[in-house]
Each structure stands twice: as C-alpha cells, then as structure tokens.
Structure 1
Amino acid sequence: MTEPNTTKTTEAHAGARLAPRHPDTRLDSDWLFLYQQLPPEEWQSVDYGYKTSFWLSIHADIRHSQQTLNDISALYQAGKLTWADYRKHLLPRMRQYILKLHQHHSIEDQGYFPQFVRMYPQLKAGFEILDADHVHLDTLLADWQVLNQSLAVSETEDEALAAKLHAMIAEVGSLMSQHLSDEEDLVIPILGLG
C-alpha cells in the first residue's frame, strides 16, 4: 500500500471541514485530514469502492449481527419468545458474533493498525483509541462468553440471566457503534487513497 498524496483535495470538499459521522467521536480534527479528502459519500464510489468495500462489508455484517442479537433479546424481554426459542435463536448467533469480533480485531491489531501507523505516524493517537477499545471489548467478550455458557446449560427459564445478557448486548452494541464509526473515519480513507 503506498502513501497517498495528502495535499490533494476534491473540488467539492476543498476548504470544507467535514464532521465525523458519530456525534460523540473521539477523533481529533487534526487526524481527519484523509477523511477530508475522501468523505463518506465517496467511500463506495467507482473510484474507491474496490479498495474500501471489503472493510465496509465486514463492518456492515458486524452491525447486522449486533442488531439481530438486540432484536432477539428484546423479543424475549417483551414476552414474545419462549425460553426455548430464545435460547435456540440467541446461542448460536452469540457464539458466532463473539468469534467474529475476536478474529476481526486480532487481524487489525496484528496487521493493519501497525501498518497504518507506520504510514501515518500522526494518526498514532487515533489508533491507540481503537486499540484501547479492543482491550475493553476483549474484557466484555470474556464476560459475555461466561453468560453465554450459562445460557447453554440453562434449560429452565432464568430471567435474571436473560436480563444480564440483554444488558451485555446493549453495552457491546454501544461500544461497537462508536468504535466502528471512529475506525471507519480513520481507516477507510487510508484504504481508498492508498
């Protein structure tokens, strides 16, 4: 991957300061110089989509899986699923989701993020935020796995366990919403312009 020309800007965005997509972004405006050159509405365009679509599709899948877990949990909490159906639908999806997050973040931590920091040392602090998210997420996923294992052996309805799982799904979802948005705002322009 070659370093893009960071002085180039599109005419449509020359001089304009774009706001990150997440209202609570933790990214400093100084780190968004590539985001200014390749704004979100161009990420999947003909010129850039072949470089960015793989990463964005993985994130779309993570978001879809998170929403599915939210929906199943909410249905049970609203009394619209039996315990047996709740377990049947939630257990395999949780296992898959936890595995997917571990794999995705491991690849980023061991390969992509260090490479991106070498290319753009001025973005190191931004990637440190994403790395800290991964550490926090690993802790949450370990706790979630314990709850998941409890659910796997709980054939008798356990509303307290379901409430803990519901809270865990929400907590992970909140973290992932922030994390994926901040990550995309840093990473997708690197991929697209590289």
Structure 2
Amino acid sequence: MAKTEGWQVPDPLALGNRHALPDALRVLAEAYPRADWQEHVHFGEMIRFWMQRHAMFRQLLDLLKSDAQAALSRQMEASAHAGRLSHFGGTLLNELHGHHQIEDGHYFPRLIKLDARLERGFDLLEKDHEAMDGLLHAMAEGANSVLRGAEVGPFLDRLSGFERSLNRHLADEEDIVVPVVLHTGFAG
C-alpha cells in the first residue's frame, strides 16, 4: 500500500486487488490472442508443459474444494477426507512452491531480457509469488487445522479465497509469458 496524506491507498495491481492486467502489460497478449496460442509455431513442448502445470494446479484446487464440500455435507467420511486433504493439499503446496522457484530463478530472468516492454509485468508476477507464499502458508494452516479435527467450513472459505488469487495469478502469468514465448521463439 502507498501512503497518501496519512491514508493507506490500496495497490490496484496487488494480487488481491487486481481484476485484470493493465493495458500496458497486455501489449503482446493483444498481438497474440489466447485462442490462437496452441496453433502458433512457437507453442512448443516447454510452454505446453508449463501450461499443463497450471492446469494441474487448477485441478488440484478443484479437487480440494469438492472434497471439502463433500466432507462438510457428510458425503465423505472425515478419515477419507483427511487422507485426501493431506495427499492432494501437500501436492498442491509443494508443486506450486517449486514451480514459483523455477520461474523466479530461471525463466523470468531470461524472459525479461527478451522484451523490455514487459519488465514491469515480470516484477508484478514476482510480487504475486511473494503474496502466494503467504496464501500457501495460510492454506496449509487451514488444512492442518482440519486434520487436527477443526470444522471444514472455514477451510472451504479459505480455499475459495485462495482460488480467486491463484486463478488471477495464473491467467495473468499466462497472458505475459506465453505471448513473449510466441513472439520470440524462446524454447527454455
């Protein structure tokens, strides 16, 4: 948050406040529409794998939410839910954390050099990763509470909030990274 005459002004680009990328960061996304990505000559194995990882994160989150809803409505036994929550929740947390480390340490520094117009976009994505670390920690705390016998409802609410942030981040990341790859032919 920025300070303006003693008031805290929310950052409109912060992950929890953002509804879309600003136009200035959509310069390549406009030139390379999402509907055309998979047909592009530079949509290779690296970007296909990366997009599959994003799809996996979304699927794991959907599974965690549907399991929590089933447990809340007593359509799933608490012990079955605990086992699935531990396994799939741990998988999501570990895989997202590792994915962000690889992006921040390997891919983003290389991609920034390919199109300077999007440097601010990559800075935004790195800030998202910092915010996601806190959200991942909060999700883990919520899951651990359920595993210790707490009610599922508050965890389900936390998952819904996490889902909004994760989906915003993944969509924006895709709208920055994929067009850079298509534009430059970056192969990893």
* TM-score (ref. length: structure 1): 0.77
User: Are 1:90 and 2:85 counterparts?
Assistant: yes
- After the TM superposition, list the runs of 4 or more consecutive aligned residues in structure 1 that deviate by more than 6 angstroms: none
Give, in angstroms, the shift of residue 115 of structure 1: 1.8
User: Are 1:63 and 2:55 counterparts?
Assistant: no
Instruction: Tell me which residue corresponds to 2:13.
Output: none
Q: How does 1:1-194 map to 2 (within 5 A)?
A: 24-25=19-20, 27-45=21-39, 47-50=41-44, 52-152=47-147, 154=148, 157-159=149-151, 162-194=152-184
Q: Is the 8 A contact 1:32 1:186 kept in 2?
A: yes
Q: Which has the larger radius of gyration?
A: 1
User: How many angstroms apart in 2 are the aligned matches of 1:146 and 1:65?
Assistant: 17
Give, in angstroms, the shift of residue 48 of structure 1: 3.4
Q: Is the 8 A contact 1:42 1:48 kept in 2?
A: no
User: How many angstroms apart in 2 are the aligned matches of 1:64 and 1:111?
Assistant: 25
Give, in angstroms, the shift of residue 75 of structure 1: 1.2
Please give the root-mean-square deviation of Cα atoms over the aligned residues, in Å. Answer: 1.9
* TM-score (ref. length: structure 2): 0.80
Equivalenced residue count is 166
Q: Is the 8 A contact 1:91 1:151 kept in 2?
A: no
Amino acid at match of 2:150: D
Q: Is the 8 A contact 2:40 2:182 kept in 1?
A: no
User: How many angstroms apart in 2 are the aligned matches of 1:54 and 1:42?
Assistant: 17
Unaligned 5+ residue runs, structure 2?
1-17
User: How many angstroms apart in 2 are the aligned matches of 1:121 and 1:50?
Assistant: 22
Amino acid at match of 1:35: A
User: How many angstroms apart in 1 are the aligned matches of 2:146 and 2:86?
Assistant: 7
Unaligned 5+ residue runs, structure 1?
1-22
Aligned-residue identity in percent: 25
User: How many angstroms apart in 1 are the aligned matches of 2:27 and 2:65?
Assistant: 35
Structure-2 change in CA distance of 1:36 and 1:147 (3 Å): closer
Q: Is the 8 A contact 2:54 2:170 kept in 1?
A: yes
User: How many angstroms apart in 2 are the aligned matches of 1:101 and 1:92?
Assistant: 14
